[in-house]
Structure 1
Amino acid sequence: MSYSPEHSAEQNFRAAFDRLKRGKPQRMPLGAPVTQNNVAKEAGKDTTALKKARYPALVHDIQMWVAEHGGDKPQSRRQLAIAQRKKRGDLHARQAEIIAQRDLALSLLVSSDDQLLHLLKEAERGRESTVQPLLAKAKGMRG
């Protein structure tokens, strides 16, 4: 079996990829996210050494793993704080939207109650104006 430096480099990258996936890096800080650059750094190589043209299967595996395991998670405390502020801002915006919807619904309810009350009063007046002449007519017929 002949020695192939590329084969051992790929094995080195794969071992680094596996360590990062398991959360047990040797060169990177604990909790470092799995990225193509971090795999190269964990393998002790320059980030430009892990190229798609040279290691297409490995790079594909890394990209698939990142896509499946949420590679867009915050990577630092600062990014986590930014993400939390954004989430709070989104929640405040949603709360304001819900309050506006509630206020509109309440306004429509009050308006419909007012309109219903007006129509009931109008119907009552109509009944009185219709019933009174009929009663007077009926009394006149008897007397």
Structure 2
Amino acid sequence: MSTYEKQPDKALTAEQRFRDAFERLKHAVPQVLPKGTPVSQNNVAKEAKCDPSALRKARYPLLVIAIQEWVEGHKSDQAPSERQNLLKQRQKKRDTRETMLDLKLQRDHAVGLIADADLRIVELSEKVADLQARLDELKPSAKVLNHSK
């Protein structure tokens, strides 16, 4: 019998059940959880057929530290969980939504600037036309100057 195969529960202490579960998960041969389940403190407790709150650092400090170190050391080996993938997708969607809102605000601001510029162009064009009309009234035209000779 290998070290991570199940032994009778009656002869094992709770800590030994947790250690056996940890070994089974490390070697990807869980008996309770589905294959491919990542190693975590909660999953070790579940694999040991215990409530996750039973595997506490206060009760089993060395085991919990060993689990945490193993998880840290093997982060790159484990594929992201479905939940982590969903969280990444949500973050991407949120980032996309925020970018779209920001771009819409920039667009609206630019449209406002263009509308202000168009209005100013119209006002200045009218002013130029008015000034040109006044100038034409004040200076004699070429026809009037030619007839006086």
The two structures have a TM-score, normalised by structure 2, of 0.50
Which residue of structure 1 lines up, in the alignment, with residue 139 of structure 2? 135
How many equivalent residue pairs? 126
Correspondences of 1:22-61 after superposition (within 5 Å): 24-27=28-31, 28-42=33-47, 44-47=48-51, 49-61=54-66
Answer 1 or 2: higher relative contact order, Cα 8 Å, separation at least 6: 1
Query: What is the deviation of 1:108?
Result: 0.7
Task: Measure, in 2, the Cα distance between the counterparts of 1:62 and 1:126.
Answer: 85
AA partner of residue 25 (structure 1): V
Which residue of structure 1 lines up, in the alignment, with residue 20 of structure 2? 12
Judged with a 3 Å threshold, the aligned counterparts in structure 2 of structure 1 residues 61 and 7 are, in CA distance, closer, same or farther, namely closer
Whether the aligned pair in 1 keeps the contact of 2:18 and 2:44 (CA below 8 Å) is no
Q: Which runs of 5+ in 1 are unaligned?
A: none
- Deviations along 1:90-118, one digit per CA (max 9) or x if unpaired, are 47844762574255235314412422322
The structure having more radius of gyration, on CA atoms, is: 2
Which residue of structure 1 lines up, in the alignment, with residue 112 of structure 2? 108
Q: Say which structure is richer in helix.
A: 1
Query: What is the deviation of 1:18?
Result: 2.5
Whether the aligned pair in 2 keeps the contact of 1:13 and 1:40 (CA below 8 Å) is yes
Judged with a 3 Å threshold, the aligned counterparts in structure 2 of structure 1 residues 130 and 106 are, in CA distance, closer, same or farther, namely same
Q: Which runs of 5+ in 2 are unaligned?
A: 1-12
Query: What is the deviation of 1:60?
Result: 3.9
The two structures have a TM-score, normalised by structure 1, of 0.52
AA partner of residue 36 (structure 2): G
Divergent runs of 4+, >3 A: 5-11, 60-66, 72-75, 82-96
